[in-house]
Amino acid sequence: MPYIPHTEKDRECLLKAVGAEKIDDLIAVPENARLKGELKLPKGLTEQELTKALKKKAARNSTVEDYASFLGAGAYNHYIPAVVDSVISRSEFYTSYTPYQPEISQGTLQAIFEYQTIVCQLTGMDVANASLYDGASAVAEAALMARRITGRDKVLLSAALHPEYRETVRSYLHGAGNHVSEVMYCTEAGTTLPEALDAALDKDTACLVIQYPNFFGSVEDLKALADAAHAKGALIVAVTNEAVSFGLLASPGSLGADIAVGDNQSFGNTLSYGGPYLGFMATKTEFIRQMPGRIVGETVDRDGKRAFCLTFSTREQHIRRERATSNICTNHGLCALAASVHMVSLGEVGLRRLALLNLSKAEYLKKALANVSGVEVAFSSPTFNEFTIKISKAPEEVLKGLLKKKVMGGLALKRFYPEMNTKEEMDSFVDALSKISG
């Protein structure tokens, strides 16, 4: 049997040691609960057969390299340097678990401590946790956290927040009686509508959630929105799911965010059909006891040497049970390591350059597409690396046409995304679109 080392002799020896004649004597399950018969599963495979079977499955998928892909919307195809997989493939990292025993987990602990620091640097916040599942669940956790901090119920979501994120917040908040409402976006600017905000914000509002840059790719005026929320005593939750934008845009913290959350998938994590990605959360020092998730702190060992360990554990479920800040236990540690390695190998200069490259490509494509007849840029607000266009024809049909030319043009909700796309690819995309659309 694969992965089970016992020889027949071992089994006999072990059975004898435990005083059983056969394995069934050991299974302390009442007869009425035993499975009759065998599991109806395919027969086991050799490693070679398995590899073949999985390659066959993989071959039935088209990758973002088989096509020129302009898909984004919360999952971003950036180049991942080879160092990333090299480091996260070290099995001392990936075959360990939560660092409960700090003396033999200093590697994981120091790596998380460094990651927490990098998240703080990018978001301009004071403290960050070790990770959450993904951007969507991180927003839900932030909304719950804002309710605990303010003692208020209402959660206001910008309608320009990723729809799947909004849906996640609603599901998470069912248990807490919901209280979720949305603020419209300006159909001209593509950003959260300030007028709608004035009416929606009140003394029961726990937080206003703004995506920055938002779902349409537009860069929100976070500062003004934060001021409006703060004037009513509400917190502002800034959500960033294209983390490369941190290389160019002012940090959420510097614009007044109280909680910065989002997804760091863009750094070091493959698309992998939607997961695992990397939820992050950072906040102000004063709110730390309300922050969910693991936190690593620096301390010393018995000899006074620098050491790291999990801390603030009393917020967590294994100690506080139903009164914990969250139920989260296993998080996305290895994804955080991948993101760290990617960012570290870029450095500040590299990160800024990467962000500029993304901006430049988006601008190039935006201008080119705007010249195609039947195509218009949907919103007037500045964008970072994705943007929305309006097409006079039915978008679904246009996208189908593009697929024939080996272009994944975006989603029917029309988001487009650059860096991995060469000028050539973008030009042929424009060309293909002009043929279909024109």
Partner 1 sequence: MNDNGIKGLLLDEPLIFERSSVGRMGVAPAEFDIPEADPKGLLPAGLLRDRIDGFPEVSEMDAVRHYTRLSQWNFGVDSGFYPLGSCTMKYNPKVNEALCRLPGLSMIHPYEPEELVQGALELMYELEEYLAEISGMDAVTLQPSAGAHGELCGLLMMAAYFKDKGKARTKIIIPDTAHGTNPASSHLAGFKVVPVKSEGKGALSVDAIKAVMDEDTAGLMVTNPNTIGLFEKNIKEIAKVVHSKGGFLYCDGANLNALMGLVNLGSIGVDVIQFNLHKTFSTPHGGGGPGSGPVGVKKALEPFLPAPRVKKSRGKYSLEYDRPKSIGRLKAFYGNFSIMVRAYAYIRRMGGEGLKRASETAILNANYIKERLKDTYHLAYNEPCMHESVFSDKNLLGHGVTTLDVAKRLIDYGFHPPTVYFPLVVHGAIMIEPTETETKETMDRFVEAMKAIAEEARTNPELLKNAPTKTKVRRVDETRAAREPVLRWVKK
Partner 2 sequence: MEFPKDLKYTKEHEWVKVEGNIATVGITDYAQDSLGDVVYVELPQEGGTVTKNEPFGVVESVKAVSDLYSPISGSVHEVNDAIIDSPEAINEDPYGDAWMIRVEIGNTNDLSDLMSSDEYQKFIEEEK
Binding positions for partner 2, 273-302, rule CB under 8 A? 289
Q: Which among 374, 274, 209 is positioned nearest to 73, based on CA atoms?
A: 274
Q: Which strand ranges, in their side-by-side order, compose the sheet holding 127-128?
A: 127-128, 279-283, 259-263, 235-240, 205-211, 154-158, 180-183
Binding partner selected for residue 83 from partner 2, partner 1, none, CB under the kind-specific 5 to 8 Å limit? partner 1
Can residue 319 be called a binding residue for partner 2 (CB under 8 A)?
A: yes
Torsion of CA 244, 246, 252, 258, to 10 degrees: 70
Binding track, positions 137-166, relative to partner 1; x by CB under 8 A: x------x-----------------x-xx-
Can residue 320 be called a binding residue for partner 2 (CB under 8 A)?
A: yes
Q: Which among 400, 411, 384 is positioned nearest to 433, based on CA atoms?
A: 400
Q: In this chain, which stretch among 144-152, 310-318, 341-349, 428-436 interacts with partner 2, using CB under 8 A?
A: 310-318
For residues 333 and 264, the answer to whether their CB atoms sit within 8 Å is no
307: which strand partners?
A: 299
Longest dimension (CA), the chain: 82
Distances (CA, A) of 287 to 129, 175, 188, 292: 12, 23, 36, 10
Can residue 63 be called a binding residue for partner 2 (CB under 8 A)?
A: no
For residues 407 and 365, the answer to whether their CB atoms sit within 8 Å is no
Q: Which of 181, 231, 254, 438 binds partner 1 (CB under 8 A)?
A: 254
Can residue 181 be called a binding residue for partner 2 (CB under 8 A)?
A: no
Q: How far apart are CA 212 and CA 438, in angstroms?
A: 33
Q: Which of 96, 148, 204, 233 binds partner 1 (CB under 8 A)?
A: 96
Torsion of CA 150, 155, 158, 163, to 10 degrees: 130
Can residue 106 be called a binding residue for partner 1 (CB under 8 A)?
A: yes
Distances (CA, A) of 64 to 56, 406, 408: 18, 10, 8
Site for partner 2 in 344-363 (CB under 8 A): none
Q: In this chain, which stretch among 97-105, 185-193, 198-206, 429-437 interacts with partner 1, using CB under 8 A?
A: 97-105
Binding partner selected for residue 87 from partner 2, partner 1, none, CB under the kind-specific 5 to 8 Å limit? partner 1
- Shortest distance in whole angstroms from residue 415 CB to partner 1: 9
Which C-beta is closer to partner 1: that of 154 or that of 361? 361
Q: Which of 8, 57, 203, 371 binds partner 1 (CB under 8 A)?
A: 57
For residues 241 and 189, the answer to whether their CB atoms sit within 8 Å is no
- Shortest distance in whole angstroms from residue 233 CB to partner 2: 18
Q: Which of 200, 207, 249, 380 binds partner 1 (CB under 8 A)?
A: 249
Binding partner selected for residue 404 from partner 2, partner 1, none, CB under the kind-specific 5 to 8 Å limit? none
Q: Which of 65, 203, 373, 404 binds partner 1 (CB under 8 A)?
A: 65
Can residue 411 be called a binding residue for partner 1 (CB under 8 A)?
A: yes
Q: In this chain, which stretch among 52-60, 201-209, 225-233, 428-436 interacts with partner 1, using CB under 8 A?
A: 52-60
Q: Which among 423, 346, 402, 388 is positioned nearest to 79, based on CA atoms?
A: 346
- The residues that touch partner 2, with contacts defined as CB under 8 A, are 289, 311, 313-314, 319-320
